[in-house]
Structures are given as C-alpha cells and as structure tokens.
Amino acid sequence: MARVAFRLDLPDEISQIHNTFHVSRLRKCVVDDSAVISMDDIQVDECLNYMERPILILNRKAKTLCNKVVNLVKVKWQRQKGSEWTWQPEDEMMEHYSDLFVSAGFEDEV
C-alpha cells in the first residue's frame, strides 16, 4: 500500500503548525539560498496566515478576456522575495487597500 501522507520533523519555532501533509501538497525542494527567509522576518496572524502588505501602486491597465474587461493594477509588495511586483484585480485592491490609490494619484479616476 502506497503512503499518501508524510509527517515532517519541523523546527521548534514552527511547532504549532500541523506536521502531517498529503503527498499532493509536497514538492521537491530546490535549494536557493537567496530565497531563504528568516523566521524573525515573518509575521503571521492568529490563524497562522502570512499576509504580505502592498506598499505602492505602480501602474494600471485593462485586460480584455473574451467579452469582459478586467482592470488591473501593478502592485509592489513589502518583503516579497523574487518578483517585486504583481498585477492584481483593481477592484479587489481598491476594496482592501484604498489608501494606496490616493497616494498613487488614481483616486479621481476610480
């Protein structure tokens, strides 16, 4: 019978995280020292969710999908490793982070 779950030996500083994972959630680890994040740099909420905070709206564009137009904004994220920005749906960003649109000078356009 094949194993479908593995119990990982986690470090003490993240011992509050459940240590059993289904094989579909595990991936081969490719070591990249530049991607290592110190545990002291990670802030989590009471449900152990890590939330990055957007710090700046860089640009905006409209993308046409079939018969629908989706407005996107280019967002720079705080402490994000790898890519420094991503394109996000404008309405979602406006709902959660409306203060960023004022500082970007987009408040009169939305």
Please write the tens of the pLDDT for every residue from 23-49: 888 888 777 776 676 767 677 777 877
CA-based nearest residue to 97, from 79, 73, 70: 73
8 A C-beta contact, residue 21 and residue 5: yes
On whether residue 77 sits in a domain, the answer given is yes
What pTM did the predictor assign? Answer: 0.52
Residue-range definition of the domain harbouring residue 68: 54-104
d(CA 96, CA 88): 12
d(CA 87, CA 47): 26
Single-letter amino acid code for the residue at 100: L
Confidence of residue 110 (pLDDT cuts 50, 70, 90): very low
| Tokens of residue 42, six digits | 């990670």
On whether residue 47 sits in a domain, the answer given is no
59 and 25 belong to one structural domain: no
d(CA 100, CA 75): 9
